[in-house]
Amino acid sequence: MTGWEMAVVLAAGFAAGGINAVVGSGTLVSFPALLAVGLPPVPATISNSLGLIAGNLTGSIGYREELRGQRRLLLSLVPASVLGGPTGAYLLLHLPASTFEAVVPVLIAVAVVLVAVHPLLRRRLDSRRSGAAATARIAPGRLAALFGSAYLTGTYGGYFAASQGVLQIGLFGLLLPESLQRLNAIKNVLTLTVNTVAAGAYVVVATDRVDWTAAALLAAGSLVGAYLSARFGRRLPEPVLRTAIVALGVVAIGVLLSR
């Protein structure tokens, strides 16, 4: 990798970390950058997941205020992400890319619609309750649906991480009467879990497919990008944040359909 290529990957990591912390879909920046510097698709996906973990961590820390009162919910959902990450990693290593990617644009489109209509849905789904009270009294059926959603989005994230956050916010927004920023905080923790577990699986069973230079550059860039983005992104008005999520979701669909 030349000096210019290393600079491109570092900058892509910075941008991806920042986008992931506030919206999700940062992989739409980092993954094409890795392809552009010569990595094949599967090593690029693996190195990307490994490299963005640092940004997932600082993004989660940056949203710690929005995580207050959600400890019980996260303890219920993290195991689903722990199971989903390796499932997606297995699919990546054993199935043709076309098998899974055929449904990805549809999934993202559904998520974009859910995010866009979230205010209307929330008014119908106990929106008058406070966030802390809502997460403390989740009915068993709704908790099961949340667990299933976390597992499915974790599987998707372990396979192809682009727009994992958009899917999570869309599904969780349907099931939880929470503000968009608090949903974003949940998304950051679960994405961190999925990427960490999936990357661990890659390192164990596919070490030869990891480009450690690319992963390290992405880690350095995403660490700083996510930290700065979380500081400012959590102050964005909800309509602005929602518009950004929907816009990036639409871009993701366009990128995937054009491949």
Q: Model confidence over 177-226: pLDDT tens digits?
A: 777 788 888 988 998 999 898 888 888 887 888 899 999 999 999 999 99
Q: Which residue in this structure is represented by tokens 């999925």? A: 194
pLDDT of residue 216: 95
**pLDDT tens-digit profile of 127-139?**
444 444 444 567 7
* Residue 198: predicted pLDDT: 84
Indicate left, alpha or beta for 60 from its phi (over 0: left) and psi (-120 to 50: alpha).
alpha
**pTM, entire model:** 0.77
Buried b (16+ CB within 10 A) or exposed e, 54-79: bbbbbbbbbbeebbebbeebbebbbe
| Predicted local distance difference test score (pLDDT) of residue 134 | 47
| Longest pairwise C-alpha distance within the chain | 56
